[in-house]
Amino acid sequence: MDAGQPVMERAPSDAADARRKRVLLTNAYGPYELKWGQAPMDLLGARLARGHKMFERSSHLPTWALYLIAENVHNPCTVLEFPRWDDFIKEVKKNYDVIAFQIKTIHTARIARMVRAVRELSPATEIVLGGYGVGPLYEGVPHDPERLGEYLLANANHVCRGEGVRFMREVLHDYPVDRPITQIHLPPSTVHPSERSSVEIPMPAILVSLGCPSACDFCNTSAFFHHKKIQVATPQVVYDTMKAHAKELGLDELTFILFDEDIFLDPPFVRELGRLIRSDRKTWAFRWISFGSVRALSLGNFTGRELRECGVQGIWIGVESGMVESEHAGYGKREASLTPPQLFADLRNHGIQTIGSMILGFDFHTKQNIEADIDYFLSLRPTFYQIGPMRPCPGTKLYRLMSKEQRINNNYTWNDFHLWEVGSHKVANFSDPELRAAYDLAHEKQRTVLGSPVLSIYECNLLAYQNLRDADTEFLRFHARLARDAVRTLFPVVTGIMRNAPSPEVERRAAHLLAQASVALDGDGMFAWAFRGIAGEVMTLLGRKAARDALREAERNLPETAWAPDVRLTRYNVPGKRAPLIDKLSSGDVQHGRKRRALRGFVQSFARV
């Protein structure tokens, strides 16, 4: 067996098992409120691909921390994810020895209600609090009449502000606490190629490290770990975990999410992982997405070509702003010889997708310059995007500074911790409606200037095929063929976008890409082109139907409702069972007064992209 390969340790004997505490791991109960018309936990639909309707992608991200802990302790564990209130109460009445809650600050009131229920129904149960919502509990918010932060800290037996697996091992006396952490039973995230598609693309996640030393003043996750980086997995462990997930899913071609807030700060890690991926032809189609800064990519002397050789498919890059003032705002991640336009262009030319993030409402933003800053961001042509108002979170340097300047409003509540909120603090040069208008403007420009992220994905793959098909290594030529396949697959979808374009500019962009693709795919036979033509007509009709449906729903003025994902219950370390046992207790996903409608068989091969 390879060194470092992730293997579940042998379970304790039944006798030892009987002495171990029973654990329930859970998060806040649902259903969950929509924010500005979207489910906050839909990373793509609400944030990174917002506003494209028929051609808008959506996603579901599991609460990975709960599953990670359950996999890495020997105790009998139950993970209850996205419960409804009755589901939670049913489990509480089973008198677990330990109940651990993951807190998101937006759900502080819900967690407080759950803790009260535990104290009433199972008073002997130990309560553990963890997650990024723990940090703000110590600083509090101005408007907390029920003093929920104080209540939670007073009623928790254990509070985790650090790496959760080893913390829980300490709580449970599950020694040795520093034994390896495995990640082979974590459920994957899923991506839906369009808003209404029933197709699910699995994307497993692997935790590489926690924390970030860049110490941006607004960043809650960096502040949580005191601006330090905690390594969790080595390149060998990440690679072996990739292979384990691929085997479990029965897929050779797979994209992984590697959680590391700036993975390129460790160039040897990235290069070793790339070497491992290239070492076995069976893993050549493994690709990964992670976070990276302009500074780290520049200092590491990474080029688009080398990153492609390391298996990189996408990088989330915090641009924040393109204005000169932003370069002096104390964001070390922006200090580099490489400019964002140079970096984004090089990545795109090698088929590497980008997620660009931008903040609205800096003190240097004015009503006169904010649109120019938005236009700068659009000029980078990010594949996906996160654009949102500045958020001062308790526990961060920005919050303390604004508090000192008396710019935090007294109406700031726990429920204001999300991307879609204005009014909790004073913005230097904008009223609350004006900042919301800037947010809407940025997304409308994204929709009408660049169009659906599908066009940017298409462009990335087209450029990768054009630039890598004659590369001097077989690995890169293999990736050129993958890119060519993606261009073929998406041709009908881009045709549908062109014929349902939201603006003449998007129509021209789609037409230009299709013309380039026609040249690149010139060797394809008549049957392939006939199929693409028919599929393009189908996509056109589906696009028009979606537009009519949207109009009818707007006319009916359907109310916005809550987001209700599936309730999932998973049991770990069940005697006689090697793998976790999974139950789905209910189905949900209700938004805007309707259930998600499936387009059966809609672009099944889209899952390859």
- Checking if the pLDDT of 89 tops 60, the result is yes
Smallest Cα–Cα separation from 263: which of 323, 327, 196, 212?
212
Q: pLDDT digit string (tens) for 160-185?
A: 999 999 999 999 999 999 999 999 99
Q: Give the integer Cα–Cα distance in Å for 383 and 355.
A: 6
- Assigned CATH for 204-209+252-390+427-450: 3.80.30.20
- Checking if the pLDDT of 12 tops 60, the result is no
Structure token pair of residue 590: 């209700």
Q: pLDDT digit string (tens) for 106-163?
A: 999 999 999 999 999 999 999 999 999 999 999 899 999 999 999 999 999 999 999 9
Q: Give the integer Cα–Cα distance in Å for 49 and 59.
A: 10
Q: How does the average pLDDT of the chain come out, rounded?
A: 85
55 pLDDT band, cuts 50/70/90, is low
Q: Which residue has the higher pLDDT, 463 or 212?
A: 463
pLDDT of residue 541: 60
- Checking if the pLDDT of 558 tops 50, the result is no
Smallest Cα–Cα separation from 132: which of 393, 338, 349, 385?
393
Residues 84, 89, 90, 92, CA torsion sign: positive
- Contact present, 492 and 535 (Cβ < 8 Å): yes
What b-and-e string marks burial along 1-38, b requiring 16 or more CB atoms within 10 Å of the CB? Answer: eeebbbeeeebbeeeeeeebbbbbbbbbbbbbebbbeb
Distances (CA, A) of 401 to 327, 393, 404, 538: 19, 11, 5, 55
In terms of pTM, does the model score above 0.95?
no
Mean pLDDT, range 593-597, rounded to an integer = 33
Domain ranges of the chain: 14-180+560-598, 204-209+252-390+427-450, 464-556
| Percentage of residues of the chain with pLDDT beyond 70 | 82
Structure token pair of residue 257: 């999410």
Least confident among 66-80, 434-448, 579-593? 579-593
- Assigned CATH for 14-180+560-598: 3.40.50
Structure token pair of residue 451: 């169009």
47 pLDDT band, cuts 50/70/90, is confident
pLDDT of residue 447: 93
Smallest Cα–Cα separation from 556: which of 590, 591, 593?
593
Q: Give the integer Cα–Cα distance in Å for 41 and 60.
A: 7
Mean pLDDT, range 392-401, rounded to an integer = 90
Mean pLDDT, range 517-538, rounded to an integer = 65
Least confident among 211-220, 419-428, 463-472, 559-568? 559-568
- Checking if the pLDDT of 590 tops 50, the result is no
pLDDT of residue 10: 35
- Checking if the pLDDT of 327 tops 90, the result is no
The vertex-226 CA angle with 220 and 231, nearest 5°, equals 100
